[in-house]
Amino acid sequence: MKKRITLLILCCTSFSFAQLLLDPTYGNGGIVDTGLPSGNAYSSGISGVSNASYFYPDRSVLIPYSLNPNFSIQFPNLAPTIGVKKYLENGSLDLSFGTNGTALFTSNNHAERFDISGITVQDDGKIVLVGRTHSLGGFSYDYKVFVCRFNANGTKDTSFGTNGVTILNTYVETSADPNDERLTDVTVDSQGRILAVGYNYWYLGGTNYDGSGLAIRFTANGAVDTTFGVNGIFESPLTGTDSFSTIYTADNGDFLLLGNVVPSSTSSNLTVMRINSNGSLTSWFGTNGITQINFGGKTYPGNLFVQYNGSLMVAGLNITSGLAFAKLDPNGVLDPSFSGDGMSFTNIAVPNHYTIGAENYPGISSDLIEQMPNGQYILCMTVRQSNSYNYIIAHLNEDTTLYSAFMTNGYYLNDVTAWDWARAAHLQNDNKLVVMVSAILYRYQDYISLSSPEVSSPLQAFYPNPTKASLELGQTYDEVILFDALGKQVFTRKHVATLDLSSLEAGVYYVQVQLATGERLTRKVVKE
């Protein structure tokens, strides 16, 4: 999945939050039921909808899934399948995609099983999926990793791997004991090479396991790229069972790998590793390329956000303490300007529900939390109530405390069915919020309702807007950042009162300025 900072249109410092109302222009009254199976398991190890999804800038969305029918040998027409559904901005299936809106990869091996964990889209529109696979019979849990690719129109890309898929065994099982390997996330570099992260682990006997986080690079045609790491694989050097959950592309072509390490049965720490394009650790980051963040007890990774100055905000879930956040400076060192020691906890107490962070509580993933341009956060989580599960949408301040002005005490609680499994949250560029719960998409209108007193805003002096050439800012700002409509940074200017936009293509842009107080404000600008 490509990670981007999503920009909202903030016209002033004052904005208010409306009640969450379903968008009647989307699907059936704001709801799109994919019709896919969704088991009552939080991780992706089941037949049905994946936790991974991909939201396009045009507000369409890809929903991957797998169908692994039981007794498929007895029922030969029920072949194991990798599928992707594409929904348009209005919630209808894109009938030009695949077959009536669905792309399919069907295995010829009826004993094969697929589990999709990650998705991204290449610059040429091709769709890349990663996960794990295994075959029934023999050592039935001898897992392997896979990469599958579809063309932009939803047809199988037969030029990739073997008939559209590459399967790789990073650990060969020699017994019936439980072992596992999985690719969890994927990105594509500027040369069209595919870089996927995940893990493998194996049984050592008794209650002991070992395992490693992995990053594997594939060429554009699906072969393992042996010029990367060791024979195409970067393996975490840490002692203890560790894994990678998410990959991010840094501005210089390096990669940031978010994961965790389990040094003992009672603890797990978040890890951020920085590797360069040849698959070796970047020595200047953290300690020889690695930063470990110890919150105490067990902490599992959520998301990582690259800030305007190169610093990093890391989000996770701590068992017992709830949401865990850490701020790293650009060198990978904890930043004490955040919460005194660089770390903080946020406990969201939902009445009549289990405490977030309880041992048996579902976690968060990179698809469930986003950061807004003002530094605040939106997240969607599953909350447990006895033997049923509901979901919440929460809003956090920049310091990661609950924003109490949002809804009731900073969160919105919804109970739809007995098994409301939060899978994705995405804030569109029109301020509408899309969440995926179980196998159903919900879109809320006007998540952020802008207030009107723009005359009190220090940004009122931006003129002319629209503009054909220059934009007058009305005063000199220490730093000005220009973003395009997709949230991609176009340029940064220091100590300026005028921006020259004459060379830019016509369209919508966002100008973010830094005030003397350190506060950052953002305004929409139209280039003609």
Structural domain boundaries, residue 494: 458-527
Last residue of a domain, one of 456, 474, 493: 456
Alpha carbon of 438 to those of 36, 38, 139, 390, 423: distances in Å?
9, 6, 31, 10, 7
Q: Of 144 and 217, which is predicted with more confidence?
A: 217
> What is the Cα 495 distance to its own chain's centre?
34
Specify if 462 maps to a domain: yes
Looking at residue 502, which CATH number applies to its domain? 2.60.40
> pLDDT band for position 231 (50/70/90)?
very high
Q: Phi/psi at 454 (nearest 5 deg)? A: -65, -25
> Do 452 and 397 fall within a single domain?
yes
SS3 455: helix
> pLDDT band for position 451 (50/70/90)?
very low
> Do 418 and 480 fall within a single domain?
no
> Do 375 and 436 fall within a single domain?
yes
> Do 443 and 471 fall within a single domain?
no
pLDDT per position as a tens digit, 47-105: 678 889 999 989 999 999 988 765 444 444 566 788 999 999 999 999 999 999 999 99
- Whole-number average pLDDT of the chain: 83
> Do 371 and 426 fall within a single domain?
yes
User: Containing H/E element for 461?
Assistant: none
**Does the structure show a pLDDT above 60 at 440?**
yes
Specify if 279 maps to a domain: no
**Does the structure show a pLDDT above 50 at 14?**
no
Q: Which residues contact 307 (CB under 8 A, 6 or more apart)?
A: 313
> Do 468 and 448 fall within a single domain?
no
Lowest mean pLDDT among 57-71, 357-371, 407-421, 433-447: 357-371
Specify if 219 maps to a domain: no
Q: Phi/psi at 512 (nearest 5 deg)? A: -115, 125
Alpha carbon of 109 to those of 144, 148, 480, 483: distances in Å?
15, 16, 56, 48
Specify if 413 maps to a domain: yes
Specify if 307 maps to a domain: no
- According to the per-residue pLDDT averaged within each range, which of 54-68, 104-118, 452-466 is highest? 54-68
- Is this prediction's pTM over 0.85? no
Lowest mean pLDDT among 67-71, 249-253, 332-336, 475-479: 67-71
Q: Phi/psi at 249 (nearest 5 deg)? A: -90, 125
Specify if 159 maps to a domain: no
> Do 374 and 447 fall within a single domain?
yes
Q: Are 268 and 211 in contact (CB under 8 A)?
A: no
Helices and strands: H and E segment counts in the chain: 0, 36
> pLDDT band for position 407 (50/70/90)?
confident
> Do 448 and 465 fall within a single domain?
no
Percent of the chain with pLDDT over 90: 47
**Does the structure show a pLDDT above 50 at 353?**
yes
> Do 369 and 452 fall within a single domain?
yes
> Do 406 and 486 fall within a single domain?
no
> Do 452 and 463 fall within a single domain?
no
Alpha carbon of 33 to those of 26, 104, 231, 375, 502: distances in Å?
11, 19, 43, 32, 45
Last residue of a domain, one of 456, 488, 515: 456
Specify if 346 maps to a domain: no
How many domains is the chain partitioned into structurally? 2
Specify if 435 maps to a domain: yes
